[in-house]
Amino acid sequence: MNELLRFGGLAERLVLPKRETYSSSFDYSMELAELHVTHLREQLNIAYDSRAARDRYTCRHLFKSIVPFFTAVDEINGPFKIFCDGLGPGNMLVDPSTLRVTAVIDWEFSYTAPAPPKWLLKKRIAHWVEDEGLEATLESYVPRFNLFLQALEEQEAERYAGIESISGRNRLSMRMRQSLQGRTVWFNSAIRNGWSLDALVWGVLDNHIYGKVAWARG
């Protein structure tokens, strides 16, 4: 929301949050999806011609329609994880002799929200999409994701051996794998960053939810 206020040309009255908290991930996600529609309506230079405007309008309303597919019914009311928009390698202090993380700093913009995607690149996924394109982003992200999961699964197998309550679906590695396979990681990126919304909706999310269609946009 803050980025749309700073760079998207939105008035404060349209961006500032309501004086309430969200009780479900569905309400939270729908509010952000509606904000993307507002952004399109208010930033007059967001589209350079009528065809681009029509594509962007269709994209944002299509995106609103897929929100229910990415808000799991059994977890719609939490528990929600601690969320930090700027969390990355730059937030970590590392002991140079042991290479162990000794502290995580700069939590001032943290809040409670639906669990975020996991960033494994030096730039956020949305920035990769903007700068390099969706195909290049996938080529960079997916191999690193699989390598990270392999290491995480090995650590989980060692740490949780014999603990039935922490197996299968309850393990972080499984949840992360499901996030990528089910496209949740891309949904989370799109809903939080309007600059890459169109590329992610048309390139990843639309066909996954509704399948390939016979009509062409525009």
Domain that holds residue 89: 79-113
| Rg for the chain, CA atoms, rounded | 19
Phi, psi angle pair for 165, to nearest 5°:
-70, -20
Confidence of residue 59 (pLDDT cuts 50, 70, 90): very high
Q: How far apart are the first and last CA of the chain?
A: 29
* Residues 194 and 99 placed together within one structural domain of the fold: no
Give all strands (DSSP E) within 88-193, no chain letters: 92-94, 101-104, 111-113
On whether residue 31 sits in a domain, the answer given is yes
Give all strands (DSSP E) within 95-173, no chain letters: 101-104, 111-113
**Cα separation, 125 vs 131, whole angstroms:** 10
* Residues 91 and 196 placed together within one structural domain of the fold: no
Residue 3 confidence (pLDDT): 64
Q: At what angle do helices 134-159 and 125-132 cross, to 10 degrees?
A: 150
pTM equals 0.73
Residue 94 confidence (pLDDT): 94
8 Å CB contact between 149 and 173: yes
Residues 25-44 have pLDDT tens digits of: 888 889 889 988 988 888 77
98-125 burial by CB neighbour count: b if 16+ within 10 A, else e?
eeeeeeeeeeeeeeebbbbbbbbeeebb
Q: Which of 113, 131, 162 is the last residue of a domain?
A: 113
On whether residue 215 sits in a domain, the answer given is no
Residues 109-151 have pLDDT tens digits of: 776 665 544 566 667 777 777 777 778 888 888 888 888 888 8
